[in-house]
Amino acid sequence: MPENDELLNILREAAQASPQNVALQKQFADLLLEAEAYAEAETVYRHILSLEPENQAVKFALSQSFYHQGKEAVALVILERLLVMPKAKGEWHLLAAQAYWRTEQPEQAREAYRQAVQRDASLVDVAFATEMGVVPLVEGDTAVQPKDGEEETAVLLPVDPPEPPPHSEIEQAKISFKDVGGMEKLKEEIRLKIIHPLQKPEIYQAYGKKIGGGILMYGPPGCGKTHLARATAGEVNAAFLSVGLHDVLNMYLGQSEQNLHGLFELARRYTPCVLFFDEVDALGANRSDMRRSAGRQLINQFLAELDGVEQSNEGVLVLAATNAPWHLDPAFRRPGRFDRVIFVPPPDTLARHAILQLMLQGKPTDGIQFEQLAKKTVGFSGADLKGMVDTAVELKLQEALQKGVPAPITNKELMVAAKKMKPSTTEWFNSARNYALYANQGGLYDDVLDYVKTSETRSLGAKLTFWRDE
C-alpha cells in the first residue's frame, strides 16, 4: 500500500525526532504491525516498554510481533504473564491459543481458545476450532447463540475441563524475598530447590538431576510460612495460587478429588505458578489415622497430582505449610513429592527488626529504636509483633484522645506493648518437643532441637520447659 508506506515514513521520522513521545511511538509501532513489518514493530514496542514497563496493550502488541515472526515461545512468555491479569482480554487468550497450537501444546490451546470465546463471543473461529478438534456447542448452551435472523452456522466450543473450586484465585504476588526479613537459610534452600531448576533447567538436567518435588514448611503459627510462599512467587514473577483446606474439602463423594484436580490444572495453566497448600496436614493426614484424615481417596489423588501422573507439573512450584508435620502421611515425603522438609523458626533478631519496620511503615512514628525492640522480643512470632504494634497504636490513641492532640508513636509505647505480651511460639515448641525427642523420624526434626539449643532461645528458658529437663 503506497499511502501506507508514505505514512510510515512520515511517522518513522517523527518517531525518531521524539523518542520519548509514547503516543507517537505507539502509533508508529501499530502501523508497522499492520504493515506486517514485525521485526521493526518489535523494536519500537520494546522501546515503548522501556518507557512504560507496565503498559499491557503494548505488551500484547509486542507478543503479536513475536508470534508473527515465528517466535511463538517468546510470545507465550509475555502472554502468560498477561493472562493472569484480572482483566485479561479475549483476544489475548486467542493469540495464546494460536501460539500454543503452533508449539504443539493442544491442551493449552483448546483451553485458551475456550477462555477467549467465553470472554468475547465474536472471537469464535470455526476453522481454527475444527482444526483443534473441539466439539460443537451442545444444544441449549447459551454461551454463543446465533442472533435472530442470522444464518445458523456451526458454532464450536471446547468441552469444559474440570473447574477449579469456586474460591480459588490466581494472584500476582506483590512481595518478593526483599520483603521477608532474615530467613536467609530458608531463602537459599528455596532458591536451590525450586527457583534455579525453574530458571536453569538445562544445568540440572546436565547433571542428571530430576526437577520437581515440593518443599514442606513447618513450624509454630504466625512465623512467616505463608508470607514466604507468597514472596517466592513474587521472586520469580510467578503466579500464586494459595489453597486452604476449605477450598478442597467437599461433603459430596468424589467432589473433593475433583476440586483438587481442578486446582492443579489451574496451576498448570498459569505456569510458572507457585501452588501453595496451607494446613496441608489436614489434607494429607496419615492414612492410618483416619479420624484426622480427609480420606484415603483424596490422599491418593493428591499423591498422583504431585507425581504429575496424568499431566506434567513443569513450571508448577509446589509449596506447603503445616503446624503439625507429624500428622502428615509419610508417603508425602517420598522423592519427587515434598522431599524437602524445612523448619521455619520464629523470626530471629534481624527478621524481627525487618518485620517491625514493615509494620510501622506509613504510620506516624518518632524515635523508634528498632534494634532495642528486636532484642526485647525474643520468641515473638510475626503475628505477635503485629499484636504488639496494634497495642502500641491503641495506647497512643487513648493518650491522644485524653490530651486532645494526636502524637506520633514512640519507642515507649512499643516497649510497654512488648512487656504486656507473651511470645505465642512457646506452646508449639512444648508439643514439638515430644516429636523431636521421641519420634524424630530419621532426624526429620533435628532443626527444631538445634533451634531450641541456641543461646537466643535459652534466654527464654523460664518459658520453654523442655530443654531444661534434657
Where along the sequence are the contacts to Mg ion (CB under 5 A)?
225-226
CB 427 → ligand ATP: shortest distance, Å? 13
Alpha-carbon distances of 39 from 16, 44, 52, 66, 95, rounded to whole Å = 17, 9, 20, 8, 18
Which of ligand ATP, Mg ion, none interacts with 161 (beta carbon under 5 to 8 A by kind)?
A: none
DSSP letters for 387-441: HHHHHHHHHHHHHHHHHSS---EEHHHHHHHHHH---THHHHHHHHHHHHHH--G
Q: Which is nearer to ligand ATP, 67 or 451 (CB)?
A: 451
Please give the Cα distance from 390 to 237 (Å, whole number). 32
CB 268 → Mg ion: shortest distance, Å? 24
Please give the Cα distance from 443 to 87 (Å, whole number). 48
Q: Which is nearer to ligand ATP, 382 or 423 (CB)?
A: 382
Q: Which is nearer to ligand ATP, 212 or 382 (CB)?
A: 382
Please give the Cα distance from 468 to 456 (Å, whole number). 15
Q: Does 181 bind ligand ATP (CB under 6 A)?
A: yes
**Which member of 137, 180, 356, 432 binds ligand ATP (CB under 6 A)?**
180
Which of ligand ATP, Mg ion, none interacts with 383 (beta carbon under 5 to 8 A by kind)?
A: ligand ATP
Q: Does 423 bind ligand ATP (CB under 6 A)?
A: no
Which of ligand ATP, Mg ion, none interacts with 351 (beta carbon under 5 to 8 A by kind)?
A: ligand ATP
Please give the Cα distance from 240 to 113 (Å, whole number). 23
Q: Which is nearer to ligand ATP, 44 or 223 (CB)?
A: 223
Say if CB 333 and CB 339 are below 8 A apart: yes
Q: Which is nearer to ligand ATP, 256 or 322 (CB)?
A: 322
Residues 74-105 as b/e (b if ≥16 CB within 10 A, e otherwise) read bbbebbbbbbbeeebbbebbbbbbbbbbeeeb
Please give the Cα distance from 292 to 45 (Å, whole number). 55
- DSSP state, residue 272: S
CB 222 → Mg ion: shortest distance, Å? 8
Grid cell for residue 322: 503445616
Q: Which is nearer to ligand ATP, 42 or 348 (CB)?
A: 348
Residues 257-284 as b/e (b if ≥16 CB within 10 A, e otherwise) read bbbbbbbbbbbbbbbbbbbbbbbbbbbb
Instruction: Count the neighbouring beta carbons within 10 Å of the beta carbon of residue 349.
Output: 15
Q: Does 83 bind ligand ATP (CB under 6 A)?
A: no
CB 223 → ligand ATP: shortest distance, Å? 4
Q: Which is nearer to ligand ATP, 218 or 270 (CB)?
A: 218
Which long-range contacts link 298-305 to residues 24+ away (Cβ below 8 Å)? 298/248, 298/256, 298/257, 298/260, 299/329, 299/331, 301/257, 301/260, 301/261, 302/260, 302/332, 303/331, 303/332, 303/337, 305/260, 305/261, 305/264
Residues 349-408 that bind ligand ATP (CB under 6 A): 351, 354-355, 358, 382-383, 386
Q: Which is nearer to ligand ATP, 62 or 215 (CB)?
A: 215
CB 179 → ligand ATP: shortest distance, Å? 6
Say if CB 269 and CB 262 are below 8 A apart: no
Q: Does 345 bind ligand ATP (CB under 6 A)?
A: no
CB 304 → ligand ATP: shortest distance, Å? 26
Which of ligand ATP, Mg ion, none interacts with 165 (beta carbon under 5 to 8 A by kind)?
A: none
CB 319 → ligand ATP: shortest distance, Å? 11
Residue nearest to ligand ATP (CB): 382
Q: Does 75 bind ligand ATP (CB under 6 A)?
A: no
Q: Does 325 bind ligand ATP (CB under 6 A)?
A: no
CB 383 → ligand ATP: shortest distance, Å? 5
Alpha-carbon distances of 265 from 55, 133, 193, 275, 391, rounded to whole Å = 29, 20, 22, 11, 43
**Which member of 323, 349, 411, 431 binds ligand ATP (CB under 6 A)?**
323
Q: Please tell me the count of residues contacting ligand ATP according to CB under 6 A.
A: 21
CA angle 91, 96, 97 (to 5 degrees): 95
Q: Which is nearer to ligand ATP, 185 or 412 (CB)?
A: 185
Q: Which is nearer to Mg ion, 201 or 244 (CB)?
A: 244
CB 350 → ligand ATP: shortest distance, Å? 9
Please give the Cα distance from 302 to 260 (Å, whole number). 7
Q: Does 222 bind ligand ATP (CB under 6 A)?
A: yes
**Which member of 225, 261, 333, 337 binds ligand ATP (CB under 6 A)?**
225
Grid cell for residue 23: 503516543
Please report, in angstroms and rounded to a whole number, the separation of the first and last CA atoms in the chain: 87
Query: What is the contact surface with ligand ATP in residues (CB under 6 A)?
Result: 180-183, 221-227, 321, 323, 347, 351, 354-355, 358, 382-383, 386
